[in-house]
Amino acid sequence: MVVVLLLLTMAVFIIQAKLPSDPVAVTLGAGATPARVAEKRHELGYDKPLLVQYERFLSRLLQGDLGTSLRTRTSVAGDIAHFAPATLELAFVSAIWVAIIAFVLGIWSAMRSFGSSGARMFMLAAASAPAFFLAIILILVFYSHLHWLPASGESNELQPVPKTTGFLLIDATIHGDGHAVWDATLHLILPSLVIAIVPAVSIARVMRGTLIDVMQLDHIRTARAKGISERQVVLKHALRNSMTPVLAMTGLQVGLLLTGVIVVETVFAWPGLGLYTARSLQFDDFPAVMGITFVFGVIYVVVNAIIDILQMVADPRLRGQTT
């Protein structure tokens, strides 16, 4: 993990160093003189050799300095800290959706019970639909037609409750504001569901295939011969043996979930890191984009390291193996 994170810092630095636009000139504005640009470049160390610049870049990263946004004129780390709670709250609810949908569809389709063919058809159709298409369909159905759920933002109020943690749902709960809790919950449903559907379906398809293979093993036949119900056979004997490939697929889906956040937050005007990234791209705010890229990369690497550990917990045979 440490090596991959180091390679990630190198990739981010090289991209930042080779960008066609001059960040110093963009920072100072079009009216800056060449002498002022050269002075600022020397002040920031951009006239030093790349190796020296990389060392300074690593030093700043270790201190939590991700640079200054060209759009907001504030530190990128500060912007990320401001917008991260909304994205983390959305990601947490999406993860709950992923777990529920993947678990239900994976087991339901593998047991070949009533409706399992419909579950397989739904998985095939949902896996083929891009996030922005699902978002538009759900908005048309649940907002425009049924008027059940809101279509944008995280609340109907600009400042529903005082900020304590930055997480709207938690802050509303802390302050005992039931109306704000309900409002925040309604606003979370559509965007979190859109983010969750494609990863959940991908995980469910892997779970189904693995469960079908495991159900053919000898110990499963023995359990059936003892008269154990099919549901108990699946949940108590087959499911744990199926978790290794499921966890591996879960780690891969984290990357898609992170990219889905950018699209979904833009469609739903969700005030998080995804919307911040989209607006930064529109204004060629490369420090902000690189900062978000680095943060998302770190999250992806760390989550996959945790997934590796969980695989060893689920399957003791993996402990002590080297790859």
Residues 201-224 have pLDDT tens digits of: 888 888 888 888 888 878 778 877
Mean pLDDT of the chain: 83
Q: Model confidence over 32-87: pLDDT tens digits? A: 788 887 887 777 777 788 888 888 888 888 888 888 887 888 899 999 999 999 99
Confidence of residue 20 (pLDDT cuts 50, 70, 90): low
pTM: 0.79
Q: Each residue of 135-155: b (16+ CB within 10 Å) or e?
A: beebbeebeeeeeebbbeebb
**CATH architecture type of domain 82-318:** Orthogonal Bundle (1.10)
Of the candidates 9, 7, 3, 1, which has an alpha carbon nearest to the alpha carbon of residue 295?
9
| Position with higher pLDDT, 290 vs 41 | 290
Residues in the chain: 323
Q: How far apart are CA 6 and CA 220, in angstroms?
A: 45
Instruction: Give the pLDDT confidence of 223-270 residue by residue, as tens digits.
Output: 778 887 777 777 777 777 777 788 888 887 877 777 778 888 888 989
Least confident interval from 58-62, 132-136, 282-286, 292-296: 282-286
Task: Write out the DSSP string of 204-238.
Answer: HHHHHHHHHHHTTSHHHHHHHHTT--HHHIIIIII
308: confidence class by pLDDT, cuts 50, 70, 90? confident
**Ranges of each domain in the chain:** 2-62, 82-318
